[in-house]
Amino acid sequence: MRNNSTVRLSELKLPEDLKKLTVPQCKALCREIRSILINTVSENGGHLASNLGTVELTMAIHRVFDSPKDKIIWDVGHQAYTHKLLTGRLDRFSTLRTESGISGFAKPSESEHDSFISGHSSNSISAACGIAKAMRLNGDDHNVIAVIGDGAFTGGMAYEGLNNAGKSDDNLIVILNDNEMSISKNVGAFAKYLSSIRGKKAYMDVKKNVAGVLDKTPIIGEPIKEVLLASKDTMRWLLYRSSGLVSGPTMFENLGFVYLGPVDGHDLESLEENLRAAKAAKKPVLIHVNTVKGKGYTPAENNPGAFHGVAPNAIKSGNPEIISSDSFSAVFGKELAKLAQSDRKICAITAAMKYGTGLNFFAEKFPDRFFDVGIAEQHAVTFAAGLAVSGMTPVFAVYSSFLQRAYDQLIHDAAISRTHIVLGIDRAGVVGEDGETHQGLFDVPMLTCIPNVTVFSPSDYDELRLCLRMAIYDTPSVAAVRYPRGAEVQGVHMELDRENMFCYEKHGGKVLAVCYGRTGLTAAQAVRENDLEADILKLVRIFPIERAVTDICMEYDRIIVFEESLKNGGIGEHLTSALEEKGYKGDIRINAMSGFVKQAKTESVLKRFRLDKDGITEIIKKIGI
């Protein structure tokens, strides 16, 4: 390949050919990659700012290491788009986040270059520990590289992994991608710690000078440089003591890591130099890399939060909404702020999702009662329990998928002692293009097997407001209000029985359709528009199963439960059990979801499981025969 000749991704065998390129050629490829990222995310939606910030870092990793022999693990994985482009997926990249297309996260079933599944935060170091140990036991001396953002270090699992890894002598490299952001601005003591060593010009100048002198030393310069860079004591003396930055070891060194950095995450030469040094160390190394979220696209650099995760076509205006005003999230946040005006005991908690959960409205009005605990759902639940036992009313707003991370805390720290905490469970049900790791299908089975838990599932904004009030003021112990992503269904209304918290609509039917959430409104549409002989019981307080619910069900010989959740452990199974205890002899069926649900538009997923209007109509007709 000619030096400095123009090359394009489509002309290369990737990732192998990257090592043959000059630095100017690589920089040109970085510009091409950014253009592809912007254009593709503009069409398909996805994570933009985080990927724009890791282009050079990803390029450097693939130039220094040999994937898939060297294992690269992406924490969360939403920043792995460049990795996908550099590992042979350019021709499919236009299918990003589409049905049957490539995932928006790292996925081993998609490519051998994706060493570990990703989607949630703070697990990469633990996975890297296990992979590195297995490789060592198998006589494989290749490297394992975990790329983790500073935001993920607000999650406790990252420290569990560091603590374990630092005691080993495995070929493990942790790259701390420090952009001062997760989705919102990072919070907590670790963020303050990083800020104390981030971007120290004296540090970078000393590092560059030491490396520069050694580069000019004939024959022995490069070997000495690698040894020095890989030597904790020498490097500390050269880069710390001589610059006067710190007087003692870093936190990472105290945990057993060689520490390199901070490194400019957009300087290819500096990145590759440090990666080669880490590779030569043959022991755990942490490289602290400073990057700019949204790098190369001015609107994203200026407002990285808005460009973190964007909807299709949303970035064409150059100013996408962080949170839509017409959404369950926004209504939840505004209603909570309204209630807090007259109730000073209400507190709001988020795990680094202030905007995504609508709590920005609360935070603006009551900053002293708003708590962003970082990506730390386990801590958030127990923190809420601590507030509750001290007389406060904590409301923890969290995505359904992320609530999974706090299961033990819900049981042990809240439910057993009937501690009154409120969960606002956002993105409940199908979420669409983010795929298996983000679907909100587990909260109902999780919560309904825990004693002392009440679960509400509103289907429109008015029901959401009422459920939130009831969860705060009329429900003991743990109260959960779950609601879907996006906006309410327009043009459909069902009259709510506020005493029993359900909607019961009779159509002279022989069949009873039991449902909840937005599926209930879809069922109502199906019955009304097709004159089906079916009655509808739409639950709003879905658990525990109330006597009024079973009394109605006992009047029907045929019951069908429609459920936008997993069948196993779902409301359908709980209702079946409750009816059996009452001696029900009729036919009850459940149409719900199963397995891990892959990425696709929400409408497509619901159609696949016959939870759309046509599917519900077809099922009711068959049962009613």
Cβ atoms 226, 285 nearer than 8 A: no
Residue 185 has pLDDT above 70, yes or no: no
- Reported confidence tier of residue 201, pLDDT bands at 50, 70, 90: very low
- Reported confidence tier of residue 222, pLDDT bands at 50, 70, 90: low
Length reported for the chain: 625
Residue 465 and residue 368 in one domain = yes
Q: Tell me which of 276, 297, 318 is where a domain ends.
A: 297
Distance, CA of 461 to CA of 330 (rounded, Å): 10
Residue 472 has pLDDT above 80, yes or no: yes
Cβ atoms 187, 147 nearer than 8 A: no
For residue 271, tell me if it sits in a domain.
yes
pLDDT per residue as tens digits for the range 347-362: 999 999 999 999 999 9
Q: From the CB of residue 213, how many other CB atoms can be counted at a distance below 10 Å? A: 11
Residue 545 and residue 410 in one domain = no
Residue 184's pLDDT is what?
A: 52
Residue 345 and residue 256 in one domain = no
For residue 317, tell me if it sits in a domain.
no
- Average pLDDT score over residue span 78-90: 96
Residue 217 has pLDDT above 90, yes or no: no
Phi, psi (deg, nearest 5) at residue 235: -65, -35
- Average pLDDT score over residue span 590-615: 97
Alpha helices in 343-486 (DSSP H): 360-365, 377-389, 400-403, 407-409, 443-447, 461-473
In 592-622, which positions are buried (b, 16+ CB within 10 angstroms) versus exposed (e)?
bbeeebebbebeebbebbebbbebbbebbee
Alpha helices in 216-284 (DSSP H): 221-230, 232-236, 251-254, 268-281
CA atoms in the 13 A half-sphere facing the CB of 541: 23
pLDDT per residue as tens digits for the range 480-500: 999 999 999 999 999 999 999
Strand residues in 94-224 grouped as ranges (E):
144-149, 172-178
pLDDT per residue as tens digits for the range 91-117: 999 999 999 999 999 999 999 999 999
3-state secondary structure of 539: strand
Phi, psi (deg, nearest 5) at residue 371: -130, 115
Helices (H) and strands (E) in the chain, counts: 25, 19
Phi, psi (deg, nearest 5) at residue 285: -130, 140
Residue 269 has pLDDT above 90, yes or no: yes
For residue 611, tell me if it sits in a domain.
yes
Q: Tell me which of 426, 447, 480 is where a domain ends.
A: 480
CATH number of the CATH domain containing 84:
3.40.50.970
Q: Above pLDDT 70, what percent of the chain? A: 87
Q: From the CB of residue 5, how many other CB atoms can be counted at a distance below 10 Å? A: 11
Residue 249 and residue 380 in one domain = no
Residue 116 and residue 191 in one domain = yes
For residue 2, tell me if it sits in a domain.
no
Residue 190's pLDDT is what?
A: 59
Alpha helices in 45-155 (DSSP H): 49-52, 55-64, 81-85, 124-137
Q: Tell me which of 480, 515, 539 is where a domain ends.
A: 480
Residue 275 and residue 348 in one domain = no
Residue 331 and residue 198 in one domain = no
For residue 311, tell me if it sits in a domain.
no
For residue 487, tell me if it sits in a domain.
no
3-state secondary structure of 381: helix
DSSP state of 480: E
Neighbour-count burial of 152, counting CB atoms closer than 10 A to its CB (0-12 exposed, 13-18 middle, 19+ buried): buried
CA atoms in the 13 A half-sphere facing the CB of 105: 19
Cβ atoms 32, 9 nearer than 8 A: yes
Residue 320's pLDDT is what?
A: 67
pLDDT per residue as tens digits for the range 395-412: 999 999 999 999 999 999
Catalytic residue ranges: 293, 377, 405
Distance, CA of 572 to CA of 90 (rounded, Å): 44
pLDDT per residue as tens digits for the range 411-449: 999 999 999 999 999 999 999 999 999 999 999 999 999
Residue at token pair 């900053």:
367
Residue 503 and residue 598 in one domain = yes
Residue 366 and residue 515 in one domain = no
Domain that holds residue 526: 496-622
The structural domain count of the chain equals 3
* Nearest to 60, CA basis, from 295, 289, 281: 289
Cβ atoms 275, 66 nearer than 8 A: no
- Reported confidence tier of residue 3, pLDDT bands at 50, 70, 90: low
Cβ atoms 72, 173 nearer than 8 A: no
CATH number of the CATH domain containing 570:
3.40.50.920
- Reported confidence tier of residue 180, pLDDT bands at 50, 70, 90: confident
Residue 280 and residue 331 in one domain = no
For residue 488, tell me if it sits in a domain.
no
DSSP state of 150: G
Cβ atoms 556, 562 nearer than 8 A: no
Residue 63's pLDDT is what?
A: 98
Residue 588 β-bridge partners:
559
Residue 465 and residue 565 in one domain = no
- Average pLDDT score over residue span 563-582: 98
Distance, CA of 510 to CA of 58 (rounded, Å): 61
Residue 182 has pLDDT above 80, yes or no: no
Residue 466 and residue 501 in one domain = no
- Average pLDDT score over residue span 216-240: 45
- Average pLDDT score over residue span 226-250: 46
- Average pLDDT score over residue span 42-49: 92
Q: Round the average pLDDT of the chain to a whole number and report it.
A: 90
Strand residues in 109-214 grouped as ranges (E):
144-149, 172-178
For residue 609, tell me if it sits in a domain.
yes
Does the bond joining 15 to the residue before it have cis omega, within 30 degrees of 0?
yes
